[in-house]
């Protein structure tokens, strides 16, 4: 066993160090394990919320790419709500169609102006013919000349008869054609004849002018009578046209009233649809989902902070806990073993001297080690 003497101190020291370490490690309590903190909630795991009052839901759906998406959509309406919604749409559609038809119908466009225009044209044509006849005044100078000629023929016949009668009378009285009595009687008859012819000329002119004036008066009277008739016809046509216009005005008033009524029906339908939209816009599903998610995040944060604080308290308590006997014994055994294998320490020098003494069987080494 002499060969173990040189390494005995090392073996003893190493055994003490290892044993002390094992003793200390087995005797020392282990520090608390760190807490397991769960993962934070993910936005795609946000809770689905259905707002049945507003008819809107905020839910997660899988898109075509397989990724989750947040969707805010209407939920199917109830049967009564859908009926009201559809009726509102039909009301708006029908009202709009009726309004378009009413605007396309112009009551003034259906007034038939053709009879009035034809009547006016006909009356103007008659007026033109009457004016033309009024302007076609006969040649009363020719009439006067003809009257003169006719009266002169009568005068000539009368004076010829009178002359023959005077000549026969003078002949019975014994006066010949060469007598003074005949000459005087013939001269008197010639004067009377000239006076009669002159008077006939004047009378013929006067009668012609009177006849001309009478003819003009008759023509004007006939024109005025015709104009009165035409005015009556025109008044009648104007009354008919005014009646048509009055009816058109009444139709226009009725049309405007119908347009207003249809616009009111359209607004009623639009109001129902708008109320449906406003109700949906006032939904709380998205905000509720966000609030719930925020509460989840806050709960996770609170739990995490509590776990960390608890772990910190556990570590502080662990650090403040005093060492037990096994930890102290192991610590000192390990320290002694380390000193024994350290040639520069006092224990190491003593151990080396003791090992040398065992090897050589002398006391000088051991004594020397003690001195050292």
CA-nearest of 231, 207, 215 to 133 is 215
Q: What is the pLDDT of residue 264?
A: 92
Neighbours of 58 (CB within 10 A): 22
Q: Are 340 and 14 in contact (CB under 8 A)?
A: no
SS3 69: strand
Give mean pLDDT in consecutive 10-residue pieces for the chain, a chain of 372 residues. Answer: 50 55 55 79 77 81 81 84 89 89 70 71 79 71 75 80 79 77 80 82 80 80 81 82 80 86 90 84 79 83 84 76 58 58 61 59 45 39
- What whole-number distance in Å separates Cα of residue 184 and Cα of residue 207? 34
Q: Helix, strand, coil shares of the chain as percentages rounded to 5?
A: 75, 5, 20
Q: Among candidates 365, 330, 333, 334, which has minimal Cα distance to 351?
A: 365
Q: Is 259 exposed, middle or buried (0-12, 13-18, 19+ CB in 10 A)?
A: middle
In the block, residue with structure tokens 């806050």:
298
**Which helix (H) or strand (E) is 51 found in, with range?**
strand 49-51
Give the domain ranges of the chain: 1-28+323-372, 107-279
pLDDT of residue 90: 92
Rounded to an integer, what distance in angstroms lies between the CA atom of residue 272 and that of residue 81?
Answer: 10
Q: CA torsion angle for 168, 169, 172, 177 (degrees, to 10)?
A: -60
- Residue 84, CA atoms < 13 Å, CB-side half-sphere: 13
- pTM across the whole model: 0.44
Task: Give residues with Cβ within 8 angstroms of 318, minimum separation 6.
Answer: 29, 31, 32
Q: Which helix (H) or strand (E) holds 1?
A: none
Beta strands (DSSP E) in 52-184 are 56-62, 68-74
């Amino acid at each position: 066993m002499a060969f173990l003497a040189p390494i005995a101190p090392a073996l003893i020291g190493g055994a003490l160090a290892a044993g002390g370490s094992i003793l200390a490690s087995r005797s020392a309590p282990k520090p608390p394990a760190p807490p397991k903190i769960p993962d934070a909630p993910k936005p795609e795991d946000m809770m689905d919320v259905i707002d049945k009052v507003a008819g809107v839901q905020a839910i997660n759906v899988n898109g075509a790419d397989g990724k989750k998406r947040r969707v805010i959509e209407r939920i199917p309406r109830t049967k009564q709500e859908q009926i009201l919604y559809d009726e509102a749409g039909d009301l708006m559609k029908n009202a709009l169609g009726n309004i378009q038809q009413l605007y396309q119908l112009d009551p003034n466009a259906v007034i038939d102006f053709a009879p009035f225009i034809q009547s006016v044209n006909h009356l103007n044509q008659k007026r033109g013919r009457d004016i033309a006849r009024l302007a076609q005044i006969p040649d009363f100078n020719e009439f006067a000349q003809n009257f003169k000629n006719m009266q002169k023929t009568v005068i000539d016949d009368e004076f010829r008869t009178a002359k023959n009668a005077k000549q026969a009378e003078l002949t019975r009285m014994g006066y010949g054609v060469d007598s003074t009595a005949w000459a005087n009687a013939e001269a008197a008859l010639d004067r009377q004849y000239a006076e009669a012819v002159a008077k006939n000329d004047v009378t013929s002119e006067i009668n012609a002018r009177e006849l001309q004036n009478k003819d003009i008066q008759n023509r004007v009277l006939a024109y005025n009578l015709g104009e009165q008739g035409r005015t009556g016809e025109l008044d009648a046509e104007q009354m008919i046209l005014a009646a048509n216009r009055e009816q058109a005005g009444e139709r226009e008033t009725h049309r405007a009233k119908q347009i207003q009524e249809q616009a009111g029906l359209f607004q009623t339908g639009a109001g129902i649809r708008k109320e449906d939209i406003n109700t949906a816009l006032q939904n709380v599903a998205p905000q509720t989902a966000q609030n719930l998610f925020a509460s989840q995040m806050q709960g996770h944060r609170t739990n995490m902070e509590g776990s960390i604080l608890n772990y910190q308290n556990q570590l502080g308590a662990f650090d403040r806990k005093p060492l037990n006997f096994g930890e102290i014994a192991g610590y000192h055994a390990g320290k002694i073993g380390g000193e024994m294998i350290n040639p520069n320490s006092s224990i190491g020098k003593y151990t080396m001297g003791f090992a040398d003494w065992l090897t050589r069987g002398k006391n000088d080494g051991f004594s020397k080690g003690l001195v050292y």
